[in-house]
Copies of this chain bind each other. A is one copy, B any other.
Amino acid sequence: MAYLYYVAWRRTTSATIMETLIPTSALFLLLLLAHGTEGNVPRQFDSLPVPAHLTTTYDISLDDRYNCTAGDGQPPNRVDTTERVARLRQEMANYGLDAYLILTDDEHQNEFVSPADMRLHYVSGFSGSWGVVAVTMEQQALWADSRYFLQADNQLDCHWLLMKTGLAGVPLPAAWLGEVLQAGARVGSDPMIMTATNWMSYATTLSESGIQMVPESTNLVDIIWTDRPPHSADPAFVLPLQFAGVSWQDKVEQVRTEMLSRGTSMVMLSALDEVAWLLNLRGNDIPYNPVFRGYIILGQEQLQLFTPSEKVTPQVEDHLNTQHCTSGLCVKILDYQAIEDSLKALEDDPFVSSVLINPSTLSYALYSAIPVTKRVAGPSPILGMKATKNPVEIKGMRNAHLKDAVALCDFLALLEREVTMGVYWDELSAATKSEEFRRQQQNYVQLSFATISAFGPNGAIIHYQPSSETNIPLDTSSLYLIDSGAQFLDGTTDVTRTVHFGSPTLQQVEAYTRVLQGQLDFADVVFPANSGISLTDIEILARKPLYQVGLNYLHGTSHGVGMFLYVHESTLPAFGVGEFLSDEPGFYVDGEYGIRLENVVEVVEAITPYNFSGPSLSFWETTLVPYEPKLINTTLLTRHQCDVLNRYHTRVKEEVGAEMLTQGLQEAYTWLLSKTNPISC
């Protein structure tokens, strides 16, 4: 999946190599240079210079809002939140606040949030995945990034100032508040939501204007949000060892050993995928992400899970040894709300000298609850353990992708058959059908993200998702791009293919071929293990075939993938064996078409003819879906790329083909054969 959402960089630690999405305008870069991490802005490459021809100074005023002159027709998706903001201001007065900050985040810095946590959307009407709202007694402003300028301008009513983050002259929230408020003013926000790092950044900037950040533990939006949807009441469930591979007890012992060597008495986990992974539990609290709300406190002797009581079933209790402690490994289950007090109580615990936390992913409230002398900042030891899959998980991921490939190929085969025959299909029906096919596969649970099903010009909108308003039919006149994936009990998948049911243009063929070359070269690279090589070192390989002719794509190339966890998962600072990542170059022409090819690949040890200084690593394709031969200009491929491509198609034919026959999918098999003929070059 291409980065529809800014990867919650705040969630990842120094271990992050998750690429954030670069919006189609590179204006975002200006932001980063000017402001760094102030105020919740996703961070990309620090040192990128601002393309001079792309900077525009922007006037921030209500006059600049779209269709906000009297008499203007209102866009259909504009939401009038005047009344909600008024009620919010009433609460602000009640709580003695001059301004209130609202984020798109939840307490666990999840990339996707539960509808119950979509507070910013409630207050502003803006439905993008990232934004910041600041409401004062006189004004209300929303910060959006360039992915969403247009969307925000449409959705916000005309009382809202739209802060187009990244444009020259547009201040960040803390700076803006410093300008519009007086010294002595109090700015409130929910400290259980904002991360410690961001909170302290706001506090520092605001204090320069004599303004105070106030941690108001009552969330003011929750007071006024009368029809607020509840959080999911679904329970957690046990992930059997046949999928998890290593028992939670063994995982805990491994973490405890690591903690000893780091000299830390205690670790606190707030990332839901880490909580789930450690205890071999899953849930259904976040759309597309099989996790449940919880925190873990882990010491050498203690192990506490803080989770809402409805998450806990008898099976879960049994699994966690809550009653019958064997080998000192039991989980004490406490109430979700008790986390803050439990952290505060560590003050009096002489056996706890240090608690390892990550201030850029932990909420300010919980960070502050830990006694300051006991706080140790650092990356979570779980991150690497989770990222590098164990042999059972690896087997599971490979198997999940095999099933996923069968489903996707079966779907593409059907689509091709029918569209070329003139049967009606559109983006929505295609998305629905692709899910149906996946649902037939064993151990399918749900999708891993909302399917991107994009025909023609919609393919050029990198974060596109079809809706009833935007849905268009599929036909033989242009390219169709589908980026989709699933959660299976044995793995998370994410794959993108681009197809053409008619006659592609020469330009489309050249573009597709260059994207393909980049994808092949990226996955084909070999490098010394223990060399510290990471994504940024090999990014050029994915882009080079496009760069050579002056082309590019404005999004990231790769993200980690979880094992029946997050489709965007944190990775190690440098590639490690057993990690699964995406390999997804693309090319887009605004208003015309989009091309993206995405595979998930596995980091493996490479066999090399020589051994200079230890083992080498490479990638092994996990995704096994054919490419579209009519979109490949074989004369552009090098001999080596041709070999690599043919060997891949041979794997696809053998592995996916065999599974198709086992499942009795004859038509899909025929289609598969037609797409995997060796190319001569």
Residues of A within 8 A of B (CB): 26, 45, 47-53, 525-528, 530-534, 536-541, 543-544, 546-552, 554, 573-574, 606, 608-614, 616, 638-640
CB contact between A552 and one of B50, B549, B606, B612 (< 8 Å): that residue: B612
Instruction: Give the nearest-CB partner of A587 in chain B.
Output: B612
A609 to B514 CA separation, bound complex (whole angstroms): 14
Contact, CB under 8 Å: A47 / B610: no
Contacts of A608 in B (CB 8 A): 548-550
Contact, CB under 8 Å: B550 / A611: yes
Contact, CB under 8 Å: B531 / A613: no
A549 to B548 CA separation, bound complex (whole angstroms): 25
Contact, CB under 8 Å: A573 / B53: no
Contact, CB under 8 Å: A551 / B614: no
Contact, CB under 8 Å: A49 / B530: yes
A534 to B49 CA separation, bound complex (whole angstroms): 12
A to B CB contacts below 8 Å, 14 in the list: A45-B532, A47-B534, A48-B574, A49-B574, A50-B530, A533-B540, A536-B536, A536-B537, A549-B608, A550-B612, A550-B616, A638-B639, A638-B640, A639-B639
Q: A549-B608, A550-B616, A639-B639 are in contact. List 16 more A-B contacts (CB 8 A).
A: A47-B532, A50-B530, A52-B530, A525-B547, A526-B547, A527-B543, A527-B547, A528-B552, A537-B537, A538-B540, A548-B608, A549-B609, A551-B612, A638-B638, A638-B639, A638-B640
Contacts of A574 in B (CB 8 A): 47-49
Contact, CB under 8 Å: A616 / B547: yes
Shortest beta-carbon distance from A611 to chain B in Å? 5
Shortest beta-carbon distance from A417 to chain B in Å? 35
A94 to B573 CA separation, bound complex (whole angstroms): 51
Contacts of A611 in B (CB 8 A): 550
A361 to B422 CA separation, bound complex (whole angstroms): 71
Contact, CB under 8 Å: B539 / A526: no
Instruction: Give the nearest-CB partner of A548 in chain B.
Output: B526
A526 to B610 CA separation, bound complex (whole angstroms): 30
Shortest beta-carbon distance from A634 to chain B in Å? 13
Contact, CB under 8 Å: B609 / A550: yes
Contact, CB under 8 Å: A532 / B609: no
A175 to B531 CA separation, bound complex (whole angstroms): 28
Contacts of A547 in B (CB 8 A): 525-528, 616
A210 to B532 CA separation, bound complex (whole angstroms): 37
Contact, CB under 8 Å: A550 / B610: yes
A613 to B489 CA separation, bound complex (whole angstroms): 43
A540 to B51 CA separation, bound complex (whole angstroms): 26
Shortest beta-carbon distance from A447 to chain B in Å? 32
CB contact between A614 and one of B53, B538, B573, B610 (< 8 Å): that residue: B53
